[in-house]
Amino acid sequence: MKDRSKIKVLAIIPARGGSKRLPRKNIREICGRPLLAYTIKAARNAERITHFLVSSEDNEIIEVARKYNAPVPFVRPAELSGDKVRNIDVVDHALRFMEGAKGVTYDIIVLLQPTSPVRDHGHIDSAVELLWNSDCDSLASVKGPFKKRDPILKAIRNGILEDYSPVKDLKNVEPFYLYNASLYAVKRDYFVRHKKLISPKQIPLIMDKFHSVDVDTDADFLVAESYINYMKNQNKDNSL
């Protein structure tokens, strides 16, 4: 296996300007800074990242990204700017551009959604280490474990609230985890072959409730603001 000090890692922050659910959310201020700035700071402070960039088609977002010292080596092509464009296509474009521009072949690609402002550089470094030392081809961040005395998942059947997946012994309910959309990492060769960020076997990066906040609505902004202020006051995260 390649010496870990020689691993080449590319981190991509996708930040398009056409969000429909929450217009201009990537540059909306949260605790005095644009949402995008938090992910830029995490990427800049991560020791395991070789290069990172912001991919956007939006001039205002590009200006904000550069203000917070993020590389923006290209303007995303118009065909990759609609609301139906997949992250896979954005990653593929950025990878091909950067490998051509830098003359390197990366080992790992990391996707960092700007809607996760409480995720810090330590999570990024841990993700790279976990994936590189694993036989799995990809990694995803998750929140959990969720395990309560009674099953948390419910279904409404014939107007009645019932257990979604009934279990015979409530003492032995298996905990479950949920994607938190904060971080995905994939080995470069797997991505190039399959054009997928998710492989059949994934290694998890488990994140707590605070760091897992995902901002897509006005209510999410309020939650994220409270978490950021709480963690600042508790000195739990100096990167915020």
Higher pLDDT, 226 or 150: 226
In the predicted structure, residue 3 carries a pLDDT above the cut 70: no
Residue 96: inside a domain, yes or no?
yes
User: What is the CATH classification number for the domain harbouring 44?
Assistant: 3.90.550.10
* pLDDT for residue 239 is more than 70: no
Whether pLDDT at 156 is above 80: yes
Q: Could you list the residue range(s) of the whole structural domain that residue 69 is in?
A: 4-145+176-233
Whole-number pLDDT of residue 196: 97
CB atoms within 10 A of CB 217: 12
How many domains is the chain partitioned into structurally? 1
Residue 187 maps to a domain? yes
- 166 located within any domain: no
Count Cβ atoms within 10 A of the Cβ of residue 177 and give its class: 0-12 exposed, 13-18 middle, 19 or more buried. middle
Q: Is residue 239 part of a domain?
A: no
